[in-house]
Amino acid sequence: MDSNSSPSNTIPVVSTLASPLESPPPAVNADADSSSSSARKPITMWPGMYHSPVTDALWEARPSIFEELYDPEKDGPPQTEFFTKTPAQSRTTILYRFSSDYTLREQYRDPWNEVRIGKLVEELDALAGFISFKHCSDDDSTTRPLLLVTASVDRIVLKKPISVEFDLKIVGSVIWVGRSSMDIQMEVTQSNEDSVALTANFIFVARDSKTGKASQVNRLSPETELEKFLFEKAEARNNLRKTKRGGGDRRELENGEVNRLKTLLAEGRIFSDMPALADRDSILLRDTRLENALICHPQQRNMHGRIFGGFLMHRAFELAFSTAYAFAGLVPCFLEVDHVDFLRPVDVGDFLRMKSCVLYTEVENPEQPLIYVEVVAHVTRPEMRSSEVSNTFYFTFTVRPEAKAMKNGLRIRNVVPATEEEARRVLARMDAEVLQRLDDQESMPQ
């Protein structure tokens, strides 16, 4: 992705906590008309705003757009004229000045002096929503606004550690558009490095704010060779998703899994029937589980009244990290989030239970053992005696080299399923990883 962007598309992030060591930060939108700015409702008074330094910066940077959303013309006509836009028109840069803003740095610091990944993932979702709105905007205040929601996270990959000591930049734009969906790609870089530290792809869909049905969005016309390449790869991924939803050759696949299932379950049977003879370097999948629960509060909702998707990803990441930590006995190091589908919206007041486990491990490379963690979010309704899956997240971790050196000889265990349902989940995840690696190889620009 071309990281060049005009100054008007660069949004600086400032700390949201008062610091006795620093003077108050300047207003983000310094060029805005002061009279109109003072007439606007204070951002802390706007309903449906999940606040963080990035969300505050995004909403302040485009006040006219979001004021329209605050009191939308819901009875206005739908958009009928659609434009062809370029990726450059939606491209937006977020700049974290960690090197000079002490308070901002402290808001993002983790115990290892790196950026908190869960918090960063949360804000990538906010930025993706902002970019999708820029692409869909028709600059007509009389048409009713679209509802833009996160349909899925295609993938988030951490390529190198992200230090909290250096300035951080996120550049994102729409790279592919279907009839009602958009693929937004974002890249994270730091001021001390030229190469990309993290990449993320979010899929947003547009719905009519009155009918709730899928709504057409503006078209996209890639200009540069890189933009055309990204468009083609996103098109291929979209076609693959459609094939998977169609079921494919499911029966043939299941018939071919019988022997793999038997092999996976063989050791689990020993654990269940003859635990004294089980392999001491293995552990049952069910013994790696952790769980937490929360009530979803109004402060965590987005502009559409649903619970902010980035908040859910943040909470899922924290649980996955804790699961990998408790399992390995070493500080884990995040590598990637695989495809996430937002199957069911989460509402204010919902009772959300998140259940995690280590699905399996790869320990062939002792320098970088891989730990695959699954987190399933359930919307639970005790009064109705029901529980429904909202999201399933798949995280990949390894262990930090410095932590491994401190505990020489400590081995990462193999994880084995004890039931056929567990074995099928493991096989599905293994197959998805193999396909992803093949896709990564094919996606390398020639």
User: What is the DSSP code string of 275-289?
Assistant: GGGS-TTEEEGGGG-
pLDDT in tens, 13-48: 887 765 444 444 443 333 334 334 344 444 444 445
Whole-number Å distance between alpha carbons of 368 and 193: 23
Q: Could you tell me if residue 54 is inside a domain? A: yes
Instruction: For residues 267 and 388, state if they share a domain.
Output: yes
pTM: 0.83
The residue among 117, 191, 130 whose CA lies nearest residue 157 is 117
Instruction: For residues 214 and 268, state if they share a domain.
Output: no
Contact assessment for residue 411 and residue 404, using Cβ atoms and an 8 Å cutoff: no
Q: Could you tell me if residue 2 is inside a domain? A: no
pLDDT in tens, 429-445: 988 888 777 766 666 55
pLDDT at site 352:
94
Instruction: For residues 143 and 173, state if they share a domain.
Output: yes
Beta bridge partners of 156: 200, 337
Instruction: For residues 57 and 144, state if they share a domain.
Output: yes
HEC per residue, 396-428: EEEECHHHHHHCCCCCCCEEECCCHHHHHHHHH
Q: Could you tell me if residue 83 is inside a domain? A: yes
Which of 202, 226, 245 terminates a domain? The answer is 245
Instruction: For residues 220 and 139, state if they share a domain.
Output: yes
Domain range enclosing 225: 7-245
Contact assessment for residue 112 and residue 165, using Cβ atoms and an 8 Å cutoff: no
CATH number at residue 298: 3.10.129.10
Q: What angle do CA 299, 356, 181 make, to 5 degrees?
A: 60
pLDDT at site 375:
96
Average pLDDT, the chain: 82
Give the count of domains, the chain. 2
Whole-number Å distance between alpha carbons of 93 and 330: 35
Beta bridge partners of 199: 157, 187
pLDDT in tens, 43-97: 444 445 556 777 777 767 665 444 544 455 566 777 778 899 999 999 999 999 9
Beta-carbon neighbour count of residue 208 at 10 Å?
Answer: 17
Alpha carbon separation from 307 to 29, 204, 342 (Å, rounded): 27, 15, 12
Instruction: For residues 229 and 319, state if they share a domain.
Output: no
The residue among 226, 234, 185, 204 whose CA lies nearest residue 136 is 204
Contact assessment for residue 241 and residue 432, using Cβ atoms and an 8 Å cutoff: no
pLDDT at site 256:
58
